[in-house]
Amino acid sequence: MHSIADLKKGEKAIIKDVSANNIPIKLLEMGCLPGNEVEVIQLAPLLGPMYININGSHLAIRKETAKLIIIDKLINNE
């Protein structure tokens, strides 16, 4: 099972499941829901946040939070 935290810069995936009890409601409101596409835009150094794009919304989330968002499959970047 993989999470957003496993993605590298430029990789895309489809969100499979979200641990709604453990992530901020704001992420859910901004589209962090099953079935939506996520793309990693930038990774901050020294275990800093991940900058992601979900349905056109650019978000910065901590790695600990990213580990709670399960992805279904990687999307071919071609």
Closest CA to 26 of 60, 74, 1, 76: 60
- pLDDT tens for 34-64 read 999 999 999 998 888 999 999 888 999 999 9
Residues pairing with 69 in the sheet: 18
Is 61 exposed, middle or buried (CB count within 10 Å of its CB: 0-12, 13-18, 19+)? buried
Provide the 3-class DSSP secondary structure of residue 45: coil
Domains of the chain: 2-75 (2.30.30.90)
Its pTM stands at 0.84
The predicted pLDDT at position 7 comes to 93
